[in-house]
Chains A and B, each alone.
Chain A
């Protein structure tokens, strides 16, 4: 099998991921509408005007903190999930993979380290469940979100630090820090959207982020009995090439514009003042392109949930059709095949049932209870 298709996340985590995306996107939209209000004046109006935009920002921020607090507690309380916190810790293999990747990039190594592979059609025992890149994404976003939440809370509840908050320097330090983190994280989210939405094997969405592992068909046979993983049977959508090129350009323009806009607003990373105004046509276009990339990410996140709902409905209909009137056994379920409905392909459509040998019992491939990201 490939690691394209095994379920990686639990139901709670996939739901958490979608809600996290929703709150983070709203935080970005409102935060950027405030910071780059000259370029995004229309977004300020859309988010409740100058009197409502901060309200939406704070509501989304509070929701994010509640959501994260719930998810972390849930993961800590579930004995089967606690190991995930160890699972994302970097180990020696990750360091070797990172070093070899650097050498590879510099032309001093012939191939990438096996532990650096995460997308291509390798069998499950050939690649780590989560590579150092996946761990990096988890850690970077975790640290960024944590710092954004803390600094955001302190900015919101200024009275908590009233004894030493009341000075221009401290205000600017907090706000510049919060804004700088926002810029860095925005660039990461844009890249994250591109990386997971526009990979040829996943385009337009990577279903493992939306379909819980207990609903994902899994492979439990001996991998050695199969020469390939079935990746060669994937069909590339005809729109992938131009869509990826367009999205790639938008991501680069968006990232560069947001960074340049931050630079030109009086010093980077620490501004001499917080005035973000005095826009230009070029910067207005660029920053809006960045917001468009974010919007595409939000739409793709919703689309992933649409695909999940569609797939779950198909499975239910299939199960209903195959149930014998006398209450007999459902052959299709026992064999793991899904007559008529198939399973969602990585292209968002359905795959033929003879595409692979899978069981459909809701377990993964026998590895750890893998709720880790990547």
Chain B
């Protein structure tokens, strides 16, 4: 018996659509902290070992929630309970209302017309305001511990997840999402992601404020209706 026969719905792949208007969002019910996304990102972009363009954050490690070891985390959270061990792939979500873009004093960070948040290496002065502004810890400063940058705390040039824009331009999904064995990284439009989470009987792990930052006030409603 297939999943289709059981529920009438089929789980999509993590990557549902790519390119313009792309959104990227984690499904915490699916993430098993395997680290595949981290490996895929580093392999694709050849980043330094300490540069975490994507990183898996695990909360309450080793603790079971009231529902047991797995699943039903977002519902437990919504019910005001502690959901137990929860893993979450953290990366740049290319927010609709990106705080990093608002706080960047040199316009090095831009919300592009196609929805990607990009950083210009020629303009970034390493002030790290974006690091303070981003609720998700996406900005990385891989050179901040080197030489004068460490002495003066200038941070070096900011680096972050690009959303694998080049891959998406040729209709490939981001490396992390394509690699993910459990399809825990969802890529597509806001509607597609909301629908997919609903199909999976999952939800958002973030609060309303964070959802409005990521998707904007209108699209965030798609998730709160679930």
Contacts and interface: CB of A to CB of B under 8 A. Distances in A.
User: Are A and B part of the same complex?
Assistant: yes
Contact of B106 (A50, A58, A165, A172): A50
B31 to A, nearest CB: 23
Contacts of A276: 105-107
Contacts of B156: 51
B129 A274 contact: yes
Nearest to B153: A156
Contacts of B124: 50
A54 interface: yes
A58 B128 CA distance: 14
Interface residues of A, number: 30
B152 A58 contact: yes
Given A35-B105, A274-B105, A157 B133 contact: no
Nearest to A275: B107
Contact of B132 (A171, A272, A277): A171
A277 B123 CA distance: 11
A58 B133 contact: no
A166 B106 contact: no
A55 interface: yes
B157 interface: yes
Given A53-B125, A54-B125, A54-B126, A273 B152 contact: no
Nearest to B121: A50
A146 to B, nearest CB: 21
A175 B148 CA distance: 23
B104 interface: yes
Contact of A54 (B101, B103, B127): B127
Given A166-B135, A172-B102, 4 more contacts: A51-B125, A168-B103, A171-B103, A179-B105
B132 A165 contact: yes
A34 B106 contact: yes
Which of A54, A168, A276 has the most B CB atoms < 10 Å from its CB? A168
Interface residues of B, number: 28
The 5 closest A-B pairs by CB, nearest first: A168-B99, A277-B107, A273-B102, A171-B132, A168-B133
Contacts of A170: 132
Contact of B104 (A53, A167, A272, A274): A274
B154 interface: yes
Which of B102, B128, B132, B133 gathers the greatest number of chain A CB atoms within 10 Å? B132
A37 interface: yes
A37 B106 contact: yes
Given A34-B125, A277-B107, A54 B102 contact: no
B125 A171 contact: no
Contact of B153 (A157, A167, A172, A273): A157
B99 A58 contact: no
Contacts of A58: 152-154
A283 to B, nearest CB: 15
Nearest to A158: B132
Interface string B142-164: 00000011001110110000000
Nearest to B105: A274
A141 interface: no
Interface string A141-185: 000000000000001111000000111101110010001000000
6 contacts: A34-B106, A51-B126, A54-B125, A157-B153, A165-B132, A274-B103
Interface string B76-108: 000000000000000000000001011111111
B132 A166 contact: yes
A278 to B, nearest CB: 8
Contacts of A54: 125-127, 152, 154
Nearest to B131: A158
A274 B152 CA distance: 23
A226 interface: no
A85 interface: no
B46 to A, nearest CB: 21
A268 interface: no
Given A50-B106, A274-B102, A55 B129 contact: no
Contacts of B108: 50
A104 interface: no
A59 interface: yes
B5 interface: no
B122 interface: yes
Interface string A265-308: 00000001111110000000000000000000000000000000
Contact of B125 (A50, A179, A272, A274): A50
Nearest to A265: B105
